[in-house]
């Protein structure tokens, strides 16, 4: 048995692994969302992008997935289901609403699986949560995503989760670090700039 540790320096855009994972679907709140998790290989590519797993582990999982494609496909289905549950739950939280019973149920299915693979390990001065399992477990990244999601859900930091206010349905979730919690956009380079340009055009039009 082995205990897998995530990358020491996660390259997260939001600061939270679970929020970054929810953003693997572009235009999530629109009628035409764009899926990026189209294969197990794409899931591994995402773990590489955020440095979630060591490169040696990523390579090993790709080899195992090639040997067991049916199992890898099941893990991908679980990943997408978890991603959707995370998105809808945190989207509801950002809007000050209660998550649906279906989303809570989907989340808890994966939560139960993660608990079965959890352990407490002593680290010289305190106990910490860790994952127990085999190095070649195809679903090991889901444990870390679930750990991130549960940590955020029970933290006061959940009040800082926001969703991009773009009126075309961007749906990007972010962690608002602004002092007054006034952030509205996924980024000023993208939706923020479009909104600013739109306001400018409307102002010019009204003055004509």
CATH code, 103: 1.10.3300.10
Q: Which of 4, 10, 12, 27 is nearest to 142 (CA)?
A: 4
The pLDDT tens digits for 58-76 are 999 999 999 999 999 999 9
Please provide the average confidence, as pLDDT, over all residues in the chain: 89
- pLDDT interval class at 185 (50, 70, 90): confident
Averaged pLDDT for residues 15-42: 96
pTM: 0.87
Domains contained in the chain, number: 1
Q: What is the pLDDT of residue 202?
A: 47
Mean pLDDT lowest among 22-36, 62-76, 148-162, 183-197: 183-197
For residue 98, pLDDT over 90 is answered with yes
CA distances from 46 to 37, 179, 192 (A): 8, 31, 25
Range of the domain at 155: 2-207
Identify the residue with better confidence: 40 or 186. Answer: 40
For residue 111, pLDDT over 60 is answered with yes
Distance CA 77, CA 58 (A): 18
For residue 188, pLDDT over 50 is answered with yes
Helix (H) or strand (E) holding 118: strand 118-122
Identify the residue with better confidence: 128 or 113. Answer: 113
Distance CA 170, CA 155 (A): 25
Q: What is the pLDDT of residue 100?
A: 97
Q: What is the pLDDT of residue 180?
A: 86
């Amino acid at each position: 048995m082995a205990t897998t540790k995530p990358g020491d320096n996660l390259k997260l855009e939001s600061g939270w692994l679970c929020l970054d994972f929810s953003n693997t679907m572009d235009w999530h709140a629109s009628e035409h969302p764009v899926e990026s998790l189209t294969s197990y290989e794409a899931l591994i590519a995402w773990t590489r992008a955020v440095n979630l797993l060591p490169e040696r582990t990523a390579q090993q999982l790709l080899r195992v997935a090639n040997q067991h494609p049916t199992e890898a496909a099941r893990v991908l289905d679980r990943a997408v289901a978890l991603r959707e549950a995370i998105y809808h739950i945190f989207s509801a939280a950002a809007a000050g609403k209660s998550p649906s019973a279906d989303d809570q149920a989907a989340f808890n299915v994966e939560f139960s699986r993660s608990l079965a693979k959890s352990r407490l390990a002593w680290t010289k001065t305190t106990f910490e949560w860790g994952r127990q399992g085999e190095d070649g477990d195809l679903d090991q990244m889901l444990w870390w995503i679930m750990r991130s999601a549960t940590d955020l859900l029970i933290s006061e930091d959940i009040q800082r989760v926001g969703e991009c206010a773009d009126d075309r349905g961007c749906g990007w979730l972010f962690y608002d670090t602004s002092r007054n919690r006034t952030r509205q956009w996924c980024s000023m380079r993208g939706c923020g700039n479009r909104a600013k340009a739109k306001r400018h055009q409307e102002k010019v039009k009204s003055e004509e």
